Chains A and B, each alone.
Chain A
Amino acid sequence: GQQLNQSPQSMFIQEGEDVSMNCTSSSIFNTWLWYKQDPGEGPVLLIALYKAGELTSNGRLTAQFGITRKDSFLNISASIPSDVGIYFCAGHKDRDDKIIFGKGTRLHILP
């Protein structure tokens, strides 16, 4: 079964608030990926992380590759209405062809 635990499952926040979500595993990964999915569309890559401890930003989004290589975090600062959607983490293990996904975090923004 799936090996990535993503939390929280859903979030309700006010516009302007910061958002944090994370992904953990009992396995070690050599790549962590974060995707966003808008309704009716396929997931779109936000950030890719390749090295333990790496911190990478994409606009208001910042993601980190955990030091243990078993977790990753995504932060969104000053949320806006278009941030609504489902955020997925994904990981790739060394010597494995597959990329495994978490179950997603559904972000809702209250007016």
Chain B
Amino acid sequence: DAGITQSPRYKITETGRQVTLMCHQTWSHSYMFWYRQDLGHGLRLIYYSAAADITDKGEVPDGYVVSRSKTENFPLTLESATRSQTSVYFCAARVTGNTIYFGEGSWLTVV
């Protein structure tokens, strides 16, 4: 158990609205990741962070913003939500070696 908590678990929002998905870890793992999961695409990396104040783009970063002011929090913000951002979002942390552990996911629907 990597102690990763995501909130909200479920969210419905309107196109154009700003949405923030929260991710909190109870430990002090350095690396944290945001993935989105869509049918036919598997898990795609949006952004990741190597430490506080260090973030980098993944495979599909457009339309998303992240911050990491504290090691334990890694929020993901959709600045102006679009229907194509309807997805399941998973936060993860690297625990030991190169293994990562996931939170339970945030289901986002943009209408």
Q: Which residues of A contact B (CB under 8 A)?
A: 1-2, 6, 30-31, 33, 35, 40-45, 48, 50, 88, 90, 92, 97-104
Contacts and interface: CB of A to CB of B under 8 A. Distances in A.
A88 B102 CA distance: 13
A32 B60 CA distance: 22
A44 B101 CA distance: 7
B47 to A, nearest CB: 10
B99 interface: yes
**Which 8 pairs of residues, A with B, have the shortest CB-CB distance?**
A103-B42, A42-B102, A31-B98, A92-B98, A101-B43, A48-B99, A104-B42, A42-B104
Nearest to A30: B98
A31 B44 CA distance: 18
A18 to B, nearest CB: 24
Contacts of A50: 97-98
Q: How large is the interface on B (under 10, 10 to 19, 20 to 34, 35 or more residues)?
A: 20 to 34
Given A43-B43, A98-B58, 17 more contacts: A1-B59, A2-B59, A33-B98, A42-B90, A42-B102, A42-B105, A43-B102, A44-B102, A50-B98, A97-B31, A97-B50, A97-B56, A99-B45, A99-B98, A99-B100, A103-B42, A104-B43
B42 A88 contact: yes
Contacts of B41: 2, 103
